[in-house]
Structure 1
């Protein structure tokens, strides 16, 4: 089950907010922005909807609805003020999903929720008391401002499950432990430098979890873990226990990055996403560089990012939609969430091309080719940056210097060199044999198949597309008289004539080329040819 649209009215600080995820919503929905922008309020609206429409989530109670109303005078009813639409476009209350779950005693598994206020209690049990079934969803917090301590109940569940396996299958303790701890330990070890070794012995007064660390003698119990380690273990155990029951569920996690360093944040999110069933959806509120990096590089295709830092979404009717995930939008997300730390994020790949090597004001790219390539490929390759590095004779020298510097600061930056074909002293394009020889010299070398970038932009396909989008008529006869060989003709001197094949408007060459670059989408033949030349 996945949410596709949410409407929230007169709730907390929202007047009238619509979240529209489009026809096909992602498996991961990230709400990003600074404190106070409304991220957590969205998750709270889910919890109020759940508690008013069906049942309360967590042990903190449903709260007083008057505390959530923005305008105390206006009436509030969850079925009217909060609408949640799912996969088929239906309002969830009309989908019959809750009724279907009730028949299988799983009516409270619509949402799984964790608040940011988690504290790790001292875990030591001397007796096993009965705890509610996990499908009842009565553990932990019910709203984002409540404490969310689940480890004690979850420990009891693991311990009872361990005993049941031993008795039902007549297994020795070592085999039962492997059965219980194997998968969970894999996730813990992927995040932390520790391993879960034992679930203790309640009857002996050692009812707690025990761990060991590489190169350290002996075991130590849960209470000796650091705060960050406890948070990570607590969260992984909770999802590990829930995943078999909460299979068609909206998992809501508010700021899971608390107490965790950046490296662990990224690893933890990957384990959470791996554990959560494919048929479920994760809604996560964050302004963590580690989580954002994981979304950008590891789950770019699976996630949708809502930038709550863009503007005020509280007052009046407002609609927020996912960002397009271009490099520019990712930079905006990082900047919104982490203020001036955007500069710490290095691209995965830098491609040096011809153009003005000296940047303009505020370090802005001045090179024409780099602007064009960044515009064309910013959506599919958000981790790639095109930079101008002077004329064709300066590319190798400048890129070699950059490679030495960047490899000392960042371990996985790939440096490529992209040349035009007009590199001969007489200005004529190289032959295809000469191009092949250049490519064979080094794996970092790239060369356009056409003379230069203008020979791609002024292709008939893009000019016709420009005319179609602007209700103009393309003069193909005039175009054919001007362009004899689209691969090798020098088109710069005849730009004004080529422009008249499309429009009589006086548009500067650089501006027109940028317009054509934005039209160079994945479905065009020009995009596919450039992609093959540069990235394949």
Structure 2
């Protein structure tokens, strides 16, 4: 189950917000932005939607009727919340709420955790009855409420252990290994602790016990740090839910509280591993650790909603996922940390021909570098193209840069990219000369076409431009002008080629940058450039 679109009208501070994730929403949706930008209110709208159509979530409201009577969240005339699932089906009219109720699956469409989860004491002397976990009656009912689930979840874990111990006639250690083995696998990847015992409620020791490396003594839950309690609490909650909440929208609001950056990234990875494949995770965060995990570990499985750059409260607004470009990642990280040095340092720097000196604000002035960055920045956010002078200066500058950067950053790769236009003798570079250059160093790259314009002015790209602007591409005229897209000097034919698409007065640089933005990874021309520049093993023609 995945949400693809949300509409929120006159709820909390939103006038009219639409969240549009497209036809193929990702498994992980990250709502990013500073405090007060509306992230938590989106999750609150999910809880209100659930209350309208099925029942409340959490222990703070009693029932649906009481939930609606709360003036702070009551939907008055003019207010509405809509949720569409993948495929364009409205959740409320899909019959999913009713089906789960009839099949005994309870209130399991949404699972929610608020940011406030601190429990100072876990010590049970009696085993009280707790509600079935599928009824979803533990914890907070809204994002501003305390989410103390550890007490109920401990009781569930304890009962689960006792049932396995008695019904399956297992030894104590065998039952304990089955119950806490998977938990410890995840826990030990996040913290230097593991659960050693589930305790004994009847003996007045109803709490979890832990051990730590290089510490001979076990200790109970109450001696954990606040951050350790956060981590244990969250993993136990998801562990207990995952067998029942199999097709669920998991909503977690700012899980980074009390956790350091290193633990944040590890914890998110374990949460995502534990959440069932058919579920979707909505997470509100402005944490460096969680953002880093999304950038490096889940970039192909997440969508980022940036609430920090615009006012989404006033008027009709639509927010869509960001393109995961280097520039957008920089903006996202700026929310969490002002100094971005090292966080988004490129893993690969590619020197290409162009203006070696930066412009105002240290901006890249080189035309080729700008074009390549536009084309590749989304799929390759860790690759940066920079200009380093003319054809004969690239090797000199790249060697110097490599010696300096390797002292500052680990594993920085420096590549050299040359045009295949004119060699030092003033003649067109032959395939033989190109192969000699490529064989000289594994860092060397050379275009297969004369220069970047021979890719930009390819008919495949020009047709994309015409489609975008609802104009007709004059293909017959184009082929009269361009007879050899590989070797011809098409740059000098800019005005004639542009006239095949539009009669508007557009400068060459603006036109070329727009063409670059239209080159997507599923296009032939993209694959051609990718193979030549970013392939690990660049082919040399015989």
Consecutive unaligned residues in structure 2, runs of 5 or more: 62-66, 536-542
After TM superposition, the score normalised by the length of structure 2 is 0.91
Per the TM alignment, residue 112 of structure 1 is displaced from its structure 2 partner at its CA by: 0.6
1:54 maps to what in 2? 54
1:36 maps to what in 2? 36
**How far apart are the structure 2 equivalents of 1:95 and 1:474?**
44
Are positions 1:66 and 2:67 aligned together?
no
Are positions 1:122 and 2:124 aligned together?
no
Alpha-carbon RMSD: 2.3
Q: Give the conservation status (yes or no) of the 8 Å contact 1:134–1:242.
A: yes
2:443 maps to what in 1? 444
Match for residue 340 of structure 1 among 309, 324, 338: 338
2:484 maps to what in 1? 485
Q: Give the conservation status (yes or no) of the 8 Å contact 2:344–2:382.
A: no
Per the TM alignment, residue 504 of structure 1 is displaced from its structure 2 partner at its CA by: 4.5
**How far apart are the structure 1 equivalents of 2:510 and 2:25?**
35
2:3 maps to what in 1? 3
**How far apart are the structure 1 equivalents of 2:122 and 2:396?**
61
Are positions 1:135 and 2:134 aligned together?
yes
Per the TM alignment, residue 31 of structure 1 is displaced from its structure 2 partner at its CA by: 1.0
| 1:80-479 matches, cutoff 5 A | 81-335=80-334, 337-338=335-336, 340-343=338-341, 344-422=343-421, 424-470=423-469, 472=471, 474=473, 476=475, 479=478
Per the TM alignment, residue 299 of structure 1 is displaced from its structure 2 partner at its CA by: 1.6
Partner SS, residue 100 of structure 2: helix
2:77 maps to what in 1? 75
2:538 maps to what in 1? none
After TM superposition, the score normalised by the length of structure 1 is 0.92
**How far apart are the structure 2 equivalents of 1:440 and 1:214?**
52
Partner SS, residue 340 of structure 1: coil
Q: Give the conservation status (yes or no) of the 8 Å contact 2:288–2:337.
A: no
2:539 maps to what in 1? none
**How far apart are the structure 2 equivalents of 1:463 and 1:84?**
38
Consecutive unaligned residues in structure 1, runs of 5 or more: none
Q: More displaced, 111-120 or 409-418?
A: 409-418
Per the TM alignment, residue 474 of structure 1 is displaced from its structure 2 partner at its CA by: 4.7
Q: Give the conservation status (yes or no) of the 8 Å contact 2:124–2:205.
A: yes
**How far apart are the structure 2 equivalents of 1:496 and 1:321?**
36
Per the TM alignment, residue 497 of structure 1 is displaced from its structure 2 partner at its CA by: 4.0
**How far apart are the structure 1 equivalents of 2:411 and 2:196?**
35
Per the TM alignment, residue 223 of structure 1 is displaced from its structure 2 partner at its CA by: 2.1
**How far apart are the structure 2 equivalents of 1:454 and 1:84?**
45
**How far apart are the structure 2 equivalents of 1:387 and 1:228?**
42
**How far apart are the structure 2 equivalents of 1:51 and 1:163?**
34
Per the TM alignment, residue 492 of structure 1 is displaced from its structure 2 partner at its CA by: 3.4
**How far apart are the structure 2 equivalents of 1:167 and 1:293?**
45
Alignment CA distance shift 1:175-1:401 (3 Å): farther
Q: Deviations over 1:259-300 (max 9, x none)?
A: 111221111111111111111111111111221222222222
Q: Deviations over 1:384-426 (max 9, x none)?
A: 2211122233323333333344444443443322222246212
Q: Deviations over 1:131-178 (max 9, x none)?
A: 222112111111101011111221121122112111122111221122
Per the TM alignment, residue 97 of structure 1 is displaced from its structure 2 partner at its CA by: 0.8
**How far apart are the structure 2 equivalents of 1:193 and 1:442?**
45
Partner SS, residue 332 of structure 1: helix
Alignment CA distance shift 1:305-1:471 (3 Å): closer
Q: More displaced, 30-39 or 302-311?
A: 302-311
**How far apart are the structure 2 equivalents of 1:469 and 1:4?**
25
Q: Give the conservation status (yes or no) of the 8 Å contact 2:326–2:377.
A: yes
Per the TM alignment, residue 69 of structure 1 is displaced from its structure 2 partner at its CA by: 5.7
Alignment CA distance shift 1:428-1:50 (3 Å): same
Q: Deviations over 1:66-107 (max 9, x none)?
A: 21369xxx537xxx6122222342322211111111122222
Per the TM alignment, residue 481 of structure 1 is displaced from its structure 2 partner at its CA by: 4.9
Partner SS, residue 201 of structure 2: coil
Q: Deviations over 1:180-207 (max 9, x none)?
A: 1221111111212222222233334332
Partner SS, residue 187 of structure 1: helix
**How far apart are the structure 2 equivalents of 1:397 and 1:189?**
48
Per the TM alignment, residue 51 of structure 1 is displaced from its structure 2 partner at its CA by: 2.2
**How far apart are the structure 1 equivalents of 2:474 and 2:46?**
56
Per the TM alignment, residue 475 of structure 1 is displaced from its structure 2 partner at its CA by: 5.1
Q: More displaced, 181-190 or 296-305?
A: 296-305
Q: Give the conservation status (yes or no) of the 8 Å contact 1:99–1:107.
A: no
**How far apart are the structure 2 equivalents of 1:197 and 1:409?**
43
Alignment CA distance shift 1:427-1:155 (3 Å): farther
Alignment CA distance shift 1:476-1:28 (3 Å): closer
Alignment CA distance shift 1:130-1:401 (3 Å): farther
